[in-house]
Amino acid sequence: MKIGVFCSANQQIDAEYFELTRQLGAWMAAQGHTLVFGGCDMGLMECVARAVKEGGGYTIGIVPTLIERDGHVSDYVDTKILCDNLSDRKDLLLAQSDILVALPGGIGTLDEVFTVAAAHTIGYHRKRVVLYDMNGFWTKLIEALDDLQARGFIRGDYHDVIAVVHNLDEVATLCV
């Protein structure tokens, strides 16, 4: 399976997120899954790519030309797909992935999650986004989604589009 991963490119985050991300990458490699990611050499992006490669796995990096020009392409990218901007990057990440997993991240990660989820609800694809709620990272977002659901601002059940998991075993059950 080709698993797209959305996550932070920030180094200044709690070490627990790096360890859980490393475990995800090691698991992906052990299961023979391919990592599709933003191709950057920083933060959780670099961490998951390194873990996949160290486990003998394969990676596809979707790299905006600005990232390449700035010299921040991960050394752990096997196949590099260049794109013009972040919109192209999201489209290519979606096209290259069977499922998408959101690890802790910031504005860019939120943008990716909601772009994919909105396209799913309209019917452009049937791929799920998985919020990997590492140590409660996504709790406030989940509460906001639950509130939107309760108020009738989300058609249907958002869980059909955005799955919520709390550990690697739960991630594994969705990646079959």
Strand order in the sheet with 162-165: 79-83, 58-64, 34-37, 2-6, 99-102, 129-132, 162-165
Give the tens place of pLDDT for each residue, 123-132. Answer: 999 999 999 9
pLDDT at 105: 97
Quote the pTM value.
Answer: 0.96
pLDDT at 67: 85
Give the tens place of pLDDT for each residue, 119-161. Answer: 999 999 999 999 999 999 999 999 999 999 999 999 889 999 9
Rounded Cα distance, 61 and 52, in Å: 12
